[in-house]
Structure 1
Amino acid sequence: MSSLDSQVVVISGASRGLGAAIARAAANEGASVVVNYFQSEAKADAVAKEIGEAALPVQADVRDADAVRDMVDAAENHFGAPVTRAVHNALIDFQFDAENRSTLEEIDWDEYQVQTEGAVQGALNLMQACLPSMRDAGAGRFVAIGSNLVQNPVVPYHDYTTSKSALLGFVRNAAQELGPEGITANMVSGGLLQTTDASAATSDEVFGIIEQTTPLRRVTTPEEVADAVLFFLSPWARAVTGQNLIVDGGLVMK
């Protein structure tokens, strides 16, 4: 028996990059997965087709609470089982482009708002949509995707990093409140990944610097971060909650 047999996992932003890697990895461990997408329908369909019958592509904007609840309902109806696992990975309109980032002098609040709504409002909507089924089951796993920039903002992406800092606060509060019900909440924080749509704007020079300054001497891949997410989704992490695991080859050590 695999670690996620009979579990239904919703992964927000799963049509590409890290989200797609998490969907594939969870399915390989026996889970049924919801490949959530916002605009990338063709990519979500391709990921679901690759996985097979264990995958269901569902469109929903994570900032829309009604749409997220409808997505969870659709998953439970389709798979005939409750959603007890959720991964909040969606990233709204962001590129890791150090040369063209908004500096502190010029950034406006709207940019903060976009990232905060995607990170924190999206997490709240996903958690609230899954909570009834988790409670009924007497157990649940919630995993949020963070960033090692919170610990080491080597490139000051002000809006993105601030939203991930707030997301960590959300996770730890959820862990404290829901722990007595057997529901855990954790964060997995990757570094710059090679390569996703969000990191495609990153120069080869920056990737080279990361490679040379990371103890493992290589840039982390989406598949490696997905492995850590699986740990938090699995029974092996039943006594772990409120934690932030940094998966970046040792670049940031905490």
Structure 2
Amino acid sequence: MRIDEQIVLVTGGARGLGAAITRAFAREGARVVVNWYRSEDAAARLVAEIGTDRVVAVQGDVTDAESVSALVAAGQERFGGAVTTVVNNALPEFSFNGDAREKADSIGWNAFEAQLRGSVQGMLHTTQAALPGMRSAGFGRIVNVGTNLFQNPVVPYHDYTAAKAAALSLTRTLSSELGPDGITVNMVSGGLLRTTDASAATPEEVFDLIATSTPLRSVTTPDEFADAVLFFAAPWSRAVTGQNLVVDGGLVKD
């Protein structure tokens, strides 16, 4: 299925990386359900920018199964077809500020639980809500947003990285089960992005240091990351599933 034939759900799709992913899909002709949780104004601005013929914004909490089912139903009602593509981008509240990170001797299990709920429980809910429509269509694309901190834990964001590692494991087990239904499940993992709300607290010298460490001598932008997400939704990736694509300017070799 071409991208311009797809109905796409982007969780956390109203701001930061999510907004870049929303714009990328809309640019290619897809219809997009923009899920927002606390970013109502940002969602309204995005709809006004792109247009109501391509985008609908719906409030929802990905950790609540009924709320996620309502997101999928809203997309079907608004655009007249099943949600065929899901991008699990929603991020529990988190700031990429290495100086303020909780270290091994102080971090509590509640921090892990919050990240696991957002990354793993959220992915499970969106998958379960979208599966009937995907199976009916004989087509589905699930793209999960990960991190290169698996391979390069330069900053010990213990809770965030552990949750994303669990999400990668679920990505691979889901890909094995859902492949016979014509559904692919992949992950796109970035490093620090320049710049999102989550990375706004990062000092400029850290961005510069990362840039000098990459073969491209640059820090990946949200727009560049979003284009990689498009690959996994496009026909060109139809034989690719269960994979983790690192998009960080070549900093990490997976």
TM-score bracket, normalised by the shorter chain, equals: over 0.9
Q: Superposition pairs for residues 166-245 of structure 1, below 5 Å?
A: 166-245=166-245
SS of residue paired to 1:83: coil
Q: Deviations over 1:70-128 (max 9, x none)?
A: 11001100100110000000001100000010001100000000000000000000000
CA drift of 1:236 comes to 1.1
Aligned to 2:37: 38
In the alignment, structure 1 segments of 5+ residues that lack a partner are none
TM-score, normalisation: structure 1? 0.98
Q: Deviations over 1:208-228 (max 9, x none)?
A: 110111110011000000000
Match of 2:29, as an amino acid? G
In the alignment, structure 2 segments of 5+ residues that lack a partner are none
Instruction: Could you list the structure 1 runs, at least 4 aligned residues long, displaced by more than 2 angstroms after superposition.
Output: none
SS of residue paired to 2:4: coil
SS of residue paired to 1:160: helix
CA drift of 1:148 comes to 0.5
- The answer as to whether partners of 1:3 and 1:29 remain within 8 angstroms in 2 is no
Q: Superposition pairs for residues 98-177 of structure 1, below 5 Å?
A: 98-177=98-177
TM-score, normalisation: structure 2? 0.98
Q: Deviations over 1:5-26 (max 9, x none)?
A: 2210000001111110010000
Task: Name the CA distance, whole Å, in 2 between partners of 1:64 and 1:231.
Answer: 29
Task: Name the CA distance, whole Å, in 2 between partners of 1:154 and 1:3.
Answer: 38
SS of residue paired to 1:70: helix
Aligned to 1:6: 5
- Number of residue-to-residue matches in the alignment: 253
Task: Name the CA distance, whole Å, in 1 between partners of 2:99 and 2:243.
Answer: 32
Percent identity over the alignment is: 57
Task: Name the CA distance, whole Å, in 1 between partners of 2:4 and 2:193.
Answer: 28
Q: Superposition pairs for residues 23-34 of structure 1, below 5 Å?
A: 23-34=22-33
